[in-house]
Amino acid sequence: MSERNYPAVVVDDRCEARLRAGHVWVYASDVKEMKEVPENGAICDVYSRRGRYLGSGFYNEASKIRVRIVSFNANDRFDAPFWERRVRYAIEYRRTVMANAADFLCCRLIFGEADQMPGLTVDRFGDVLVTETLSLGMEQRKDIIFPAIVQTLADMGVPVRALYERNNVAIRGLEGMEETVGFYHCAGLDANPTMTETEICENGIYYYVDFIGGQKTGFFLDQKYNRLAAAGIARDKQVLDCFTHTGSFALNAARGGAAHVDAVDISADAVQMTRRNIQRNGLSDKIDVICADVFAYLDELKETKQHKYDMIILDPPAFTKSTETVKHAYAGYREINRRAMQLLPRGGYLATASCSHFMPADLFCRMLREAAYDAHVTLRQIEARKQAPDHPILWTVPETDYLKFYMFQVV
């Protein structure tokens, strides 16, 4: 082992193989020896049983993920300049990969492990940033990282008015942290922000973003380009948008030339926000919003033999958030897709998605084949897509590859 000043954690051979392949998590069961017990949230070095350096990361005895790797470089020193460089690298990547300046205005600036900042999410909604911090190591360094984000954007000529922390998620308890929400204060930000929502423009469509009370950070940015793809199919069609949330697929379809769109969601708050967004974009004559359970609504359409849609979009919330519920989620995905396929006419179109990394692509495809078999239809694939590039995928970390989006014609 080297003479570095960080506490050393020794892991078993299976973990060594996983880390050498590029994964970034060390589980509690992987740890075989500790030369010195690190403080929770502190940096430690990870070694193999034979003394080979494997990486450095945040240690947390309270978490099942005992170490979250942040670097595989033994020469790194984890001071303020290190984190400032990492922030700048992440933001410059977004400015490069987003299709245009308008897309950079609303995008994910930091995506946790994919940006080697495990547990940290930062979404940009114009001049408002919304963060979610799920690892203790990131929480302890936010007073370096958050000002660095604000300064990096300022250096690019991008002003930031406010940064809001959305840390009201139970998973923080697994890291030994409390749930918190509120505006973060640092140089360059409004001293006393009072707003509760902001407005963005994505794909030429305006949305109100409730970053305080909405789901997650207030708006789902990962389907940005998938919405455009669906809009291209929707022209002149009668479209049903299921699980509409704030109406994003419905609005894209209507703006793309759909004859009419019905948008369905069980949440009254989501329906209210969808109606506001429809009115904001002047599309009230093109979209109707229905507050209903999607499963029940599709059943009602089948029972009343209302096969009136040429295109159905399924963008449900994650049916599974753990390996223990995958079987149940599989059945839910299969059922909702089967019902949609049965409602579509021959030649109709289906756009369907899953946002859970616990439902990998091969399993999702198997489910779709079974749903098509049950519905007595054949699927002709138009396109298979992933999340937008501001949510980058590390091939060595499967958990970053979570969104599946397929478009089919029913033949």
Q: How confident is the model at residue 77 (pLDDT cuts 50, 70, 90)?
A: very high
Q: Look at strands 25-27 and 31-34 and give their pairing.
A: unpaired
Residue from 201, 242, 355, 365 carrying the catalytic annotation: 355
DSSP state of 361: H
Judged against a pLDDT cut of 90, whether residue 19 lies above it is answered with yes
What is the model's pLDDT at position 282?
97
How far does the chain reach from its first CA to its final CA, in angstroms?
Answer: 62
Q: What is the DSSP letter of 39?
A: P
pLDDT of 325: 80
Domains of the chain, with CATH numbers? Answer: 8-71 (2.30.130.10), 80-199 (3.30.750.80), 222-410 (3.40.50.150)
DSSP state of 283: -
Instruction: With cut-offs at 50, 70 and 90, classify the pLDDT of residue 3.
Output: low
Higher pLDDT, 37 or 131: 131
Please say if the pLDDT value at position 95 is more than 80: yes
pLDDT score of 320: 66
- The 10s digit of each residue's pLDDT in 336-353 is 999 999 999 999 999 999
User: pLDDT for 184-218, tens place per residue?
Assistant: 999 999 988 989 999 999 999 999 999 999 888 99
Q: Which pLDDT score, from 0 to 100, does residue 317 have?
A: 85
**pLDDT given for residue 144 in this prediction:** 98
Rounded Cα–Cα distance for residues 335 and 42 (Å): 46
Contact 297, 290 (CB under 8 A): yes
- pLDDT band at residue 302, thresholds of 50, 70 and 90? confident
355 is catalytic: yes
pLDDT digits (tens, 9 = 90+) for 361-397: 999 999 999 999 999 999 999 999 999 999 999 999 9
Q: 24-54, pLDDT tens digit by residue?
A: 999 999 999 998 889 999 999 999 999 999 9
pLDDT of residue 173: 94
Per the CB < 8 A criterion, the answer to whether 355 and 403 are in contact is yes
Evaluate if pTM is beyond 0.75.
yes
Determine contact, residues 269/218, Cβ cutoff 8 Å. Answer: no
Paired tokens of 121: 């999410």
Residue-averaged pLDDT of the chain: 95
How many beta carbons lie within 10 A of that of residue 283, not counting itself?
Answer: 19
List, in sequence order, every beta strand (DSSP E) within 227-286. Answer: 238-242, 260-265
